[in-house]
Structure formats: structure tokens, C-alpha cells
Chains A and B, each alone.
Chain A
Amino acid sequence: MERRDIQEIAAEIIDEFAFLDDWMDKYQHIIDLGKSLPPLDEAHKTDENIVRGCQSQVWLVPSLDGSQVVFHADSDAFITKGLIALLVRVFSGHTPEEVLNADLTFIDQIGIREHLSPTRSNGLNAMVKKMKMYALAYQAMNKS
């Protein structure tokens, strides 16, 4: 598969959402994205992989594939799962540097900004932080 950078993927997501002007359609799309995210193996749904600060349960499992970070994630709530599907799509398959430098303004542009507020208890913000933290750890590992 042709490898696209984070900006290209973000632009593609903005395009997808641009066709949806009604909030119901936006959420429907988010939920569909969540449904298309492969479910996480039950064995990975451990306390260790839980992202804290979420009203719904979110699990995040990182791995390193060559030089690229790969994320698998899941949630027991559909909307949350859709939102994390977006993040996985943007972050997964890129180098730690790319993940760390990723610009997330696309979230504002698709009109679901309220979900990224640090005070919102869905933990999307916690999720982004955690993904970047793993990237940082992999970066340090690569250097040593």
C-alpha cells in the first residue's frame, strides 16, 4: 500500500466530513468508522491497556513495526470507538517523530471539536496524550 503522510490522511478525513453538514450524519459516520475498526482481542483488554479518564472504557495497544508505530484500540461505546478509529487511522503506521509532530487541527475542522476538550470525560484527549507518550518512548528506544 502506498504510504501517505499524516497531513494527507487528515485532509482526506476533512473531505469525508465536508459532505456531512447535519450533526446526525456526522455522528452516523463516526459510528460507522468505529464499527469498521477491528475489535481488539479480549486478551488485550487488560487494566494495563486502559486509558484512564474515560467515561466509556478505552483500551490502547501500541507496537512497533520496523520503524513505524502501530496502534490497536477499542472502546465499549460506539461514538468513542469511532473517534479513536479516526486517531488510529491518523497515527498508526508512522514513525514516532511523525506521531509526535502530528498536527491535530483536523479535529476542529470536522466539527467534533467538543470531543477533544481536556475537560470532557470521554478521554479522547487522554487518548491523544497516551499515543504521543508511546511514540516518545519508542523514539527514545530507537535512539539508544
Chain B
Amino acid sequence: MDIEAIRKDFPALQQKVYDKPLIYLDNAATSQKPQVVIDRITQYYQRENSNVHRGVHFLSQTATDHYEATRTRVQQLIRAEKLHEVIYTKGTTEGINLVAYSFGEKYVNEGDEIIISQMEHHSNIVPWQMLASRKGATVKVIPMDETGTLDLEAYRKLLSDRTKMVAVTHVSNSLGTINPIQQMVADAHAVGAAVLVDGAQAAPHMQIDVKALDVDFYVFSGHKVFGPTGIGILYGKEKWLTDMPPYMGGGDMIELVRFDKTTYAGLPHKFEAGTPNIADTIALSTALEYVESVGYQAIADYEAELLAYGTEKLRSIDGIKLIGTAEDKASVLSFVMEGIHPYDAGTLLDRMGIAVRTGHHCTQPVMQFFDVPGTIRASFAFYNTKEEIDKLIAGLQKVKEFFV
């Protein structure tokens, strides 16, 4: 993998902040975009702009073809059996809300249970709480240990014939933990429960294979996989999607509209009401193509190297405690510094040109569990380098000196 060449593909990485070269280590929040993605959006607005699924004219047909081509690329990438099992959303959050609403309407009743985990992003907590209060169901939580590993023993005990849904993250955004999804799905299926996997943090790091995982639903966001904001993917098994009621009503999702009875369009359009985010959907395909050209295996190998290097370097600094030390981890380093508030550290690092995230990362229960006000999080993408990690380490040393 030629990192120098790859970095040149990302214009945002070329800039300086506060007169210092930008070191972007906030990839778990959102990733930077390669020039090809930016160009693809521009090209759409310059030459292809028109509405999809509606026109008989040339531009509309071209836009529709490109727009639908993204669906095919995603289907092939994640190995979905059917094209219409790929639904476009605004992002992970919308995907989860859609399932919580539509699946919940159809399949969840009073007394039923939904299982989530202690390391979920608020996006994968709140929609289930809303569903539970709407239906009189209960949300149960899989506990984790002090390394940030889920307690699978406890998980199995929570499963029962009352369990209708298990909603769990593939990779934790605040800890980096990679959860054993395949095993967890098998356990859930054994009691007849469906599984939704929040893939927001997994999709940037690994090729998702919904078939091998045998998940019922899988969601991720375009903006974290080097694509645009405002487009995300919901994969759902046909057997569920077919019977689930629509989430939003409007144009494009209908078959026939009569004042006495309206019938809905088939999949996937039943879940895609209104004029969609056409430009960004098209550019998502470009982003995924770019990632595939770098290669998922090369990315995994390189990021594992970055993670090992960063972990070792961080451990060498006195007073730094890693939060999230599971055996199987994505390239996320979350940590706290003794006697220094994450906000103070982040503010100083920012002035050194180093972009990290500080705070609770939308996972307040995780912060409560580790009894910290928040963490400092450095999250790496395949365009980051060991030199950047060295600069982070030097920056942290400086932060320490600042507060002694």
C-alpha cells in the first residue's frame, strides 16, 4: 500500500490548521473524502442533475441508472442475496430508527424484549427505548467487562422466547471492540429473535458479508466510509422487509393512491419515500469503489499495524490509561490522562494541529461504566501514518508538561 500516493488523493489532508500540518485522527466521527468522490458529486450537478424514477427524458434516465447502480455495488460488496434488500437511508441513525419503527410495529408487542449492549451508540439505544415505551416492551442490556468485551454468557441468559430483537454494534465507536457477531446471531436465531447490527464503525475497516454473518439487518453510514454525508445503507432480509409497514409515506413509495385505499410499492421503494439524496448516493458508489481499489485486506493489515504501534506508544506514557483493551479491536484508541480533563487535552492538541475527539462519543453508558467524564479518542483510517502517531505522542507529552 502506497500511503504517500493515497494521502494525495485526499485534499483535506493537505491543509494546515493554526499553521501546522493537519493530523486528522477523528476518523470514527467522519472520514475525509478522496478527490474522486468530490468530483463525482460535482459532475452530477454539472451534467446529470434530474429527478429519479420519474422522467421519460434522457437526464432522468441517466440519473436513475447511476443512482440504482450504487445499489448493485452495495449488494455485491456486502453479498446481499437480493438487490431489493438494499435500502437507501440518510445514515446509520435513520436505518436503526426505520427498523425500530417498522419492525416494531409488525413484530413487537407488550411484554416482548429487545436486547442491546452496554457499549451501544445512543443511536442504537434511544430508538429501541422509544419502541419499548410505545409497545410496552422491555429493553435488556448485555453487560461488558473492564476490557470492553461483551459478556456472552450473560447475553445467552438474556435470550428467551420473549426476545424479538437483538440490536448490537459490530465495532464500538468509543472502545474499538469488535464483537463476535456471527456467534451472537446464531444464538439469537436459536430463540427466534432477529438481529440488527450497527455497522457504522465496522464498514470503514472491513468488508461486510451479511450472508456469512447471517444478520437480519445491517446498517452503516456513507460518510464514515469515505463517502458523502446524508446517505446510508440499510440491509434487511427480504422475509422481514416484505411484511414490515412503511416508515414514511409519500411519493415513490406507492403503487396506487386512492382516497379510500392506497397500496404500497414493492421493495426497496416502499422504504424510500420522497426525492432521495441522488448526488450523494451516486458518489457513495465511487467511495466504495475507491476503498475496494485500496483493498480491504491491505487496509486491515495496515490498520492493525497502526493500532499495535499506537497502543505500544501510548502505554509508554506514564499516567495514560487506555479505555477499551479488548483482544479484537479496530483502529480506535480511547484513553484518559491522569489529572487532565479530556477537554483540556483535546483543546491543546487542537492547537498543535492534531484533531482528536474528546467527550462521551455519544456513548454515555460506556463513560459511566468506566467512571470517566469522557475520553480522548484517536481513530485511524488507512491514510494515517506512524509519523502522525509519533506527533500525537509528542503532543500528549507536551500536554502533560503543561499541567504539571
Binding site for A on B (CB under 8 A): 18, 340-344, 347-348, 351, 358-359, 373-374, 402-403
Contact = CB atoms under 8 A, between A and B. Distances in A.
B353 to A, nearest CB: 11
A104 B341 CA distance: 27
Contacts of B340: 78
A24 B402 CA distance: 9
Interface of A: 23-24, 27-28, 31, 55-57, 76-80, 121-122
Given A31-B402, A78-B403, A122 B18 contact: no
B351 A79 contact: no
Nearest to B350: A114
A137 to B, nearest CB: 29
Contacts of B348: 27, 79
Contacts of A79: 343-344, 347-348
B351 A76 contact: no
Contacts, number: 41
A121 B359 contact: yes
Max chain A Cβ within 10 angstroms of own Cβ: one of B18, B343, B402 = B343
A77 B351 contact: no
A55 B358 contact: yes
Contact of A28 (B342, B343, B373, B402): B402
A42 to B, nearest CB: 16
Given A31-B402, A31-B403, A56 B343 contact: yes
Contact of A55 (B343, B351, B402): B343
Contact of A76 (B358, B373, B402): B373
A81 B358 CA distance: 17
A121 B340 CA distance: 18
Nearest to A78: B344
Contact of B18 (A23, A27, A55, A77): A23
B402 A27 contact: yes
Contacts of A77: 341, 343-344
Q: Which 5 residue pairs across A and B have the least CB separation, nearest first?
A: A77-B341, A77-B343, A56-B343, A79-B344, A55-B343
Given A28-B402, A56-B373, A57-B373, A76 B341 contact: yes
A27 B340 CA distance: 14
Nearest to A122: B343
A80 B344 CA distance: 8
A80 B343 contact: yes
A75 B230 CA distance: 36
A107 B374 CA distance: 27
Nearest to B18: A23
22 contacts: A23-B351, A24-B402, A27-B351, A27-B402, A28-B402, A31-B402, A31-B403, A55-B343, A55-B359, A55-B374, A56-B341, A56-B344, A57-B373, A76-B373, A77-B341, A77-B344, A78-B341, A78-B403, A79-B348, A80-B343, A80-B344, A122-B343
